[in-house]
Amino acid sequence: MKFYILAIVVVINITANAQMYVGSAYYPEQLSKERIDKDASLMQEAHLNMVRIGDFAWSALESEDGNFSFEWMDNAIHTLQKKGIQTLLCTPTAAIPKWMCDAHPDIMQVQVDGQRKAYGRRRHACYNNEAYCTYCVRIVRELAARYKETPAVIGFQIDNEMTTEDPYCYCENCRMRFVEWLQKKYKTIGKLNQSWGTTFWSETLNSFSQAWLPRRMDNPAIYLDYQRFFSDCTLDFYRMQRDEIKKIAPRMLCTTNVGGGGFVTTIDLYQLGKECDVLSIDNYPINCTVENLYGNNVGQPFEPSMVSFALQQIRGGRKENIWVTEEQVGRTALTQREIVPDGIVRLWTHQQLAYGCNMSVFFPFRAFESAHEHLMVGVVESDYVKRDKYQEIQQTAHEVRALYAKTGKLLPIARAAIIRDFDADWTFENGYTFCPDLKYLREVYAYYKALRSRSVMVDMVSPDADLSPYDCVIIPYLALVAPDFPEKIETKVKKGATVVMTCLTGVRNKEFHKFDGGVYQPLQRLAGIEIERQEALFGRKHNTLDYVDSTAICKYWFDKVKPVQATVLSRYNGAYFKDAPAITCNRVGDGKMYYVATVPEQKVIDQLMNVVISETSLKPIAHHASPLMEIAELQDMKGNSYLYLINFSGDLQQVVLNYPSNDVMTGEEWKAGIVSVNPMEYKVLRIKKQV
């Protein structure tokens, strides 16, 4: 009897906190009614409470121009709803029906070589094509009108991964939009010429209409503007659909899913975040790594900190939840880099919760029977057998919903921030970059990893972010800076913050022009240094430096620094700039400003972060030694502190906790000291002291 009362209480609690969504991507347009019926029961039994449907279903929704059929979708939504499963509806615009392409061949994007893309894949329609946009608006209106009163539909995912799969287009429509964008930005052609430096190589334009869409090896200032323009086009495409939905169905939450495991450089994610009710990420920890972004499909080993790096980027420092609209459950469609280990999907889902995600959507529920993604592993295969994947998902969904029912909304808290900038991405990726071997996000990650492997929580923020919550700010490779940036940093340091700034920060203004003296003078003054020369090394060449008690490798970029006020902490000792400072520190007001004049190997960054942590209030409330151990600090909405401990390793891990705590799920009490976490297990602790 007691057990039943408890069970009822738990169920009521879970329902009351329905904002923790755990579900799966589902493709009812490929399935019979009988299958959907049975799947709904399987999902319910697996504790799933939502599905994401409709992405890529355009031809099933509109088989011919204006010929709509929604009955199959109505049936799916209602069948699932009867089992307590809500729906996140996708607009189907990422894959166009063949009839549309046949009627309007110019819908297809044009590649950089001028060749129009052929039909047969997805994400290959041009955002600026009028016919495509008209069709998009019409289908979105139809969907919004049909489901605006359907309580089971919680919102819309707009399109699918708008930012991936070579989204650029070089058609004449895009060029005309670029011309308009430039006119709006520069007002006069003289200003544009001055900004782009067009007298160089005789590129002076007489009118805006002469502007062309640049390629990577064209003038870097034009390429930078093109990237900003393209990001704006993608945002406009999102806004166009969102505005239609909100006009018709204002209660619907609108999101869009960022692909590439969150590592994308084709859109300014800070801008996108502002436009979404919730921003979403597709989390593929095995397939989508930073190296993958740079085309090195090497199967980088799984690192929990790389996943949290991606999640924190999507959150962008906002005190908001984010959603995971796709989570890898096994082998994906195109590549088999690694076999997804048993039990790891469960831990990835916990990790998502630990970084403020209140939606987890396993991809896909049912393995596809044919076509492009026939190789993907699903929660279930083509039958109804509840095999190991299903059981893992069932356990996971039950755990995270029960946990959320106890804690309510949780958000990660950080007192350190890393500034990550999209202008920097675009600058480092143009054809005339400072050093082609220096991959921006890879090097930003080195600082993130150093702090996370010391259990320090880190927000990833824009250069425009409010820095007041942070005691420590890292500014890695922020190539382009706005005029007011140094003052913002100076104010921060004077008030007692520790700032670590690296080389290649402040080397150009926002128009991609040099500053007098190479690096923006106010930043040099703040660092207490004078930068006398800057050099790059490509390929396998490197330099070395002395730091703490060892020699380490440094690569790619080397500032020759003369200390003015700063103390020298490290010097080059190799073939280049021997004995010149490689790391310096300057006291400014109550704070400190470190300068790293090169790109050092990880151990140097680790050691520098040890120093930074020991001098600041960054000391974590718990720590551990294994890189496979995730420790995240969170807060609930009442300000209570929590620790999420997730052991991704096959060994028992011991975490040193600085405060007493109790286990949220079992109530078990822990004194300050050692807490053990079993292999491939997790714990959520409520910290007894406010921190």
- State yes or no: residue 160 binds ligand GAL (CB under 6 A): yes
- State yes or no: residue 327 binds ligand GAL (CB under 6 A): no
- Looking at the Cβ atoms of 94 and 189, the one nearer to ligand GAL is 94
- State yes or no: residue 261 binds ligand GAL (CB under 6 A): no
- Looking at the Cβ atoms of 86 and 280, the one nearer to ligand GAL is 280
Nearest residue relative to ligand GAL (C-beta): 332
CB of 395 to ligand GAL, least distance (A): 23
In this structure, which long-range contacts are made by residues 622-626, counting pairs with CB atoms below 8 Å and at least 24 apart in sequence?
622/455, 622/655, 622/656, 622/657, 622/658, 622/675, 623/454, 623/455, 623/655, 623/656, 624/455, 624/653, 624/654, 624/655, 624/656, 626/651, 626/653
**Which residues contact residue 532 at a Cβ distance below 8 angstroms, ignoring those fewer than 6 apart?**
560, 561, 562
Q: What x/- string results for residues 330 through 349 when contact with ligand GAL is judged by CB under 6 A?
A: --xx----------------
Dihedral angle computed from the Cα positions of residues 388, 391, 397 and 398, in that order, rounded to the nearest 10 degrees: -150
Q: What is the DSSP string of 536-586?
A: E--TT--EEEEETTEEEEEEEEEEEEEESSPEEEEEE-SSSSTTSEEEEEE
- State yes or no: residue 161 binds ligand GAL (CB under 6 A): yes
**Exposure of 118 in the CB half-sphere (CA atoms within 13 A):** 1
CB of 162 to ligand GAL, least distance (A): 10
CB of 332 to ligand GAL, least distance (A): 3
CB of 383 to ligand GAL, least distance (A): 21
Q: 326-343 burial, b if ≥16 CB within 10 A, otherwise e?
A: bbbbbbbeeeebeebeeb
What is the separation of C-alpha 599 from the centre of its chain, rounded to a whole number of angstroms?
23
CB of 373 to ligand GAL, least distance (A): 6
**Exposure of 326 in the CB half-sphere (CA atoms within 13 A):** 26
CB of 305 to ligand GAL, least distance (A): 22
In this structure, which long-range contacts are made by residues 482-485, counting pairs with CB atoms below 8 Å and at least 24 apart in sequence?
482/509, 482/510, 483/509, 485/520, 485/523
Tell me the site size for ligand GAL, rule CB under 6 A.
8
- State yes or no: residue 326 binds ligand GAL (CB under 6 A): yes
Distance in angstroms (rounded) separating the CA atoms of residues 565 and 365? 61
- Looking at the Cβ atoms of 92 and 463, the one nearer to ligand GAL is 92
Q: What x/- string results for residues 361 through 380 when contact with ligand GAL is judged by CB under 6 A?
A: ------------x-------
- Looking at the Cβ atoms of 286 and 458, the one nearer to ligand GAL is 286
CB of 436 to ligand GAL, least distance (A): 27
CB of 265 to ligand GAL, least distance (A): 16
- State yes or no: residue 443 binds ligand GAL (CB under 6 A): no
CB of 94 to ligand GAL, least distance (A): 8
- 623 has which bridge partners? 656
136 in helix, strand or coil?
A: helix
Which region among 14-22, 129-137, 325-333, 601-609 touches ligand GAL (by CB under 6 A)? 325-333
Which region among 7-15, 326-334, 630-638, 641-649 touches ligand GAL (by CB under 6 A)? 326-334
CA proximity to 133, closest of 160, 153, 159: 159
- Looking at the Cβ atoms of 31 and 402, the one nearer to ligand GAL is 31
Reading the block at residue 316, the tokens are 């962008």
From 225, 282, 423, 425, residue interacting with ligand GAL (rule: CB under 6 A):
282
- State yes or no: residue 259 binds ligand GAL (CB under 6 A): yes
Please report, for residues 57, 155, 172, 207, 627, the alpha-carbon distance to residue 136 in angstroms, rounded to integers and kept in the order given: 13, 17, 20, 33, 45
CB of 259 to ligand GAL, least distance (A): 5
CA proximity to 425, closest of 402, 411, 442, 413: 442
Q: Are 14 and 405 in contact (CB under 8 A)?
A: yes
- Looking at the Cβ atoms of 161 and 225, the one nearer to ligand GAL is 161
- Looking at the Cβ atoms of 92 and 273, the one nearer to ligand GAL is 92
Distance in angstroms (rounded) separating the CA atoms of residues 48 and 53? 14
- Looking at the Cβ atoms of 258 and 418, the one nearer to ligand GAL is 258
CB of 53 to ligand GAL, least distance (A): 12
- Looking at the Cβ atoms of 160 and 524, the one nearer to ligand GAL is 160
Chain residues in the site for ligand GAL (CB under 6 A):
160-161, 259, 282, 326, 332-333, 373
